[in-house]
Structure 1
Amino acid sequence: MRATRTCLLLLFLLFLFTCTEAQSEFIIKSVKLFVHPAKEVERGTNLTLTCNAQVSHTGGRLPQYTYNFYKNFERKALHIQKMDAVEQVNFSIPNARAFDSGIYRCELVIEQQNLKSQTESVKVKGLQVPELIVDKQRVSEGESVSATCRAEEEKGSLQFSFKDGTNEVHRESSEIGHVQTILTFHSARIARLSCLYLINQLESNISNVVTVEVQELDIRPTITFQPSTEVIEGDTVQIFCRVDSKFQNSTFSLKLIKGKDLLKPDMKNSNYSKVVQATDTGEYECSATMNSVIKTDAQNLTVKELFSKPILTITPVGVFEGQPFTVTCKSSDFASERISRDQVKYSILMNGQSVTLGAFNGEYNATASTQTNGNYTCNAQANNILKQSQLQIFKAKMLVSKPIIEVVDKVVLDRPFKIHCRSEYGSFPINYTLIRNQKPLNQILSRHETDHAFFSAVISTKEEIQDYKCISQNSQNSPPLMSDALSAPVIVPVKKVSLVVLPGPDQVIEATDVYLICNAGIGTPPISFNWYRLGSNRTLMSKTVQANNSAHQLPKVSSKDSGTYYCEAYNNGIEHSQSDKVTFTVRMAHWKIGIIATVCLLLLTLSVVFLLKYRSKRGGVAHFGSRKKNLTNGAQIISLLEQATVTPAQF
């Protein structure tokens, strides 16, 4: 028992040693792809793609190698092969075909590592010539054959093309190497059928050519007219479509067609009858369809007019309200072998209502007014044939109203301005004439509402504005109408501007108010005034007033207000007119002058007293002559002081 346990323990330890054997470390150094026998081979060659890898490792147990082969950069592997640490694997392509052409590469995957080889382009030359087989080679029009195109030695998706001569008649893809289709023939001939296929943008040679004889289907329709193919309006015409009696029990259709119109879808057992008009002239076609084959027979039917389409005329052209006009309706031609001219009856309609009840001579007379405006047509009728003329719109023209004359913008003396002549109503064209003092100056023809009559004019005095009038006329049969005289405000440009200073320039005293009065000798209010001081870049004041003058106040002036001033004035005439420049100096106030004089006198008196006192102390009474001299000098000083004494008014 103890020996058994010892044996089991040894086996367990051996198992652990085996399981814990260190796994080899590795790196994929390179992967290369080789193509044998060559990269370009003929069809049917056995190709071998060899993927060769170099792997470095540390020894020990290596994981499984997985080789993937790819074609044309597809994500999904074309071939996968798993091996135990083998560094070369082959992928065989036996009996290669064009389908096997492409760009190949291989890849080695070991656990989380992978490396792809370079790409190699493989080209397999040559394609199998396809074979065409048909189930029958003689058919009638409208019948079909079964055609099969084979190229079963090729692999992959083949796109087959069937041709009838040089025209492709069918195209279809197949993965099984052949395609079968049904070909139908619609015309009698010898058909030459062939096929080919495409793969990898390569086109095969053309197959064998198979001829198919297509015999004509002898069903032939015929078309006849009764009583004739040349008739007159109002006649009843019957049209018959027939086929050979041997086809009566066959499946076919018979139709009557005129141009794009299917007149009758089933003509097998009936005919087509109609009372014809001139518009029924044309080619009629009998069409028989059998087994998708169409056979036709056609003839022309000529329908002569019983009478021509009536023509509506309105005279005279350009009728004004209040003038007479005439509407006439006539047919120029008629079939004299059937009817006379008098048998054609006419009726004239306005807005769908007859205006000639009981009269059939095709003439309507009326006086133009708003009630006669409308859409006019006329009908001509004979032998149950009715024809209508083309529609004409009649609208009586309206005589022009008395014109209105007005200015477009402002009127400024001696400047060009525009005059607008217009009428509130009247049919175009309207002729406008501008006159001055009854003399025509210019004419303008207004052809529509947006075509305005503008005239240019100039006046030099305000009274001349009333010299202008305009005349309007839109009918030679009516006299022209004259407007009232033109009336509009006239702007006289500002001129003769002057500046007045109050008080006068020589009487401006500080601390008083000065008024700069700007006056426009000529000009139409409102007038704008600007005041300026010479040497300053800014405007002192701007005013617009309904007068020819305005004042700017300089309150409580001082010496800094001394200077040169001027003003300018302008109105809607735009021109600015400037005054002359006026200069004034602000003088000192009178009371200041009196104070200064009093102070000066007081200072002078004090100076004299001080001088006399000073000298009296210095000389004493010792020298009589000197004293006398001093007294004389003192008397002179007192005299000077008396002369210097003035009142403030003297300043």
Structure 2
Amino acid sequence: MLLWLLLLILAPGRDQSGVIPKAFLLLNPPWSTNFKGDKVTLTCKDSYSPSQGHISWYYNEKLLDKNSEAIQIDQTGDYSCKTQRSSFSDPVHVDFLSDWLILQAPYPIFEGDDVILRCPRREESTSETVFYKNERKISSNYESSFTLTSVSRDHGKYHCSASKKSFWGTKKENSKPLMIQVQELFSRPVLTFNPSPAIEGRPVTLRCDTWLPPQRAYTQLQFCFFRENQALGSGWSSSPELRLPTMLSEASGSYWCQAETVTPAVRKRSLRSQIHVQRVPVSDVNLEIQPPEGQLIEGGNLLLICSVAKGTGNITFSWHREGTVRSLGTRTQRSLSAELQILTVKEHDAGRYYCAADNLHGPILSKLVTVTLRIPVSRPVLTLRAPRPQAVVGDMVELHCEAQRGSPPILYQFYHEDVALGNSTVPSGRASFTFSLTEEHSGNYSCEADNSLGAQRSDRMTLSVIVPVSQPVLTFNPARAQALVGDVVELRCEAQRGSPPILYWFYHENVTLGNSSAPSGGGASFNLTLMAEHSGNFSCAADNGLGVQCSEVVTLSITGSSSSKVTHITMGVTTGLLTIVGIAVTAVLVSRFRTQTNSGGFFVIRTPGSSPNAFQETSLSRTSNTDLQGPVYSEPPDPTELQPEYCNVGLGDSDLVYSQIQSIQHTTENSANAPRKYWEDKEPRVIYSELKKAHPDDSTGQASNRDRDLEDAAENYENVPCTSSALNH
């Protein structure tokens, strides 16, 4: 018997506590409850994989004649196993039922697991399934399954119900109650410490021991150690050990630990253990600052930590700045360290600091620690230096960026529309950036200052770069090299580049025709009704205040007239008759004028730009002892629309109508801006053509005779010369 015990102790496979680990069973399928006729495969495992040697199987505590690693079962009962390197496994109860409805749960189940409960039927059914725990309904659905989340070892009884249809109707069926076997995921931790007892001033290692089952060996645990109710170290850690570098008498007290799974959360705590430490006077006082030296930023918080290597009882800590009498603060507590925080430090808080510790044996001072501050940059100011108030393409512009405060060195970055232009690092003062302006440099500028403590961006500054106009291009619309008298031509002048507004001038043979403005840039147009005198060279100029640019000369040739056929014939006949019968017609005209004057007046109507057929007559009242006025004329046409002028002069009830044809052209240097002039400023050239008046009843003639009438129109005209003196008479 003693030999057997010795072999049991020395046998391999024991854990650190000397206890032989248990074997365990796995089920496939994993359900502990099955229908009668189903088969389940049991597999015996231990903490070693794979299992080796002889395996013993037990059914209701009776040894089975089986020694393989896996066996197949179909009988209800308790099953267990054992390997050569393990102790007996926990028994597993497996049911094989002949019921119509059963409740299934997997095996094994550990604390914190999500468990799927199934409620299968022997026959397919679409009825609702209801799940119960301790006779209370917990869920109902048509999926025949329900999930329990993060189960605990509460040993509740579960069952399910469903409706069964039969020949006699629908009957509610209940499953057999099932007690879910929830196993312990890990054992309750045990706190140990080494060395024991604890010695003042020496390190102590705390250990939190627990055990995971082989089925859950992969479970991750984290640990936390406590003295009284205060967490030690950095809090939760994956290490089951915590090393306390120095134990002081004030650290005596109750210690304990906690272990928990990372997910899902299963937490267990150890029993409390008392640790007693011998007291000693304070020594090795040390001052620590956070953040470390050189990393403190103005506006941040300064943490002063005063600690001692040894000491017992209540320790009074105090903090001081060199050169001041009063302390910055004091703390009295039973610990080896204490902290003082200075909020929102300023530039004047820089200096040398020290602390003192006293436990009634006299204060012990720490070494001096220098505290330096780094000052973040203030918001920089961007200024621009240009040779003139309004920047022009080609100007050299200098950008200046300066932050009034900030620890050096400072990196300045310049931006145009948030695109970096360049940078400069200066130990102090401001930075500059010089560049030559192009058209693309218009827009918003800013700069950024950064000394690695946070970048600051300046306000935006808008720069508008004026671009001189490029050489404009003059085009005609419609585009042609030749045109007819009377055509309306659009002159289009456009400069491809240039800041608005742009003023365009139009010229014919260097004589100004007119101007037009383009407030938003682009081109401008000018409409011109062509006359014979307009043959020649045209050009235009563009100006936006930075210099005038002239276009290339464009030549336009005017070869004929676009007026109606009647007007063309009238002009030709008039010219011929004027040469042949000028003197005779003048005599007749004088005779007619006298006759009309004696008979009661004459009619005058002037309609610019119309053919003789479109003229109307206007009656002038006849008054005795009053001189007859000449023809009434309107203001001269716009200089940009030079055209023939017509005036019909009727001689009373006579069958003759005289058409006065005048051609007017201004010759002033700037006709577009020149004021309008009456015809008396320049003696017009006047030709009278005698036209036989049509009788009122002739106006209703047939359309078929119109072409013949137009062809014979020349026969209805007779050129009569007339002078302005005759008209005035």
TM-score (norm 1): 0.27
Higher share of residues assigned strand: 1
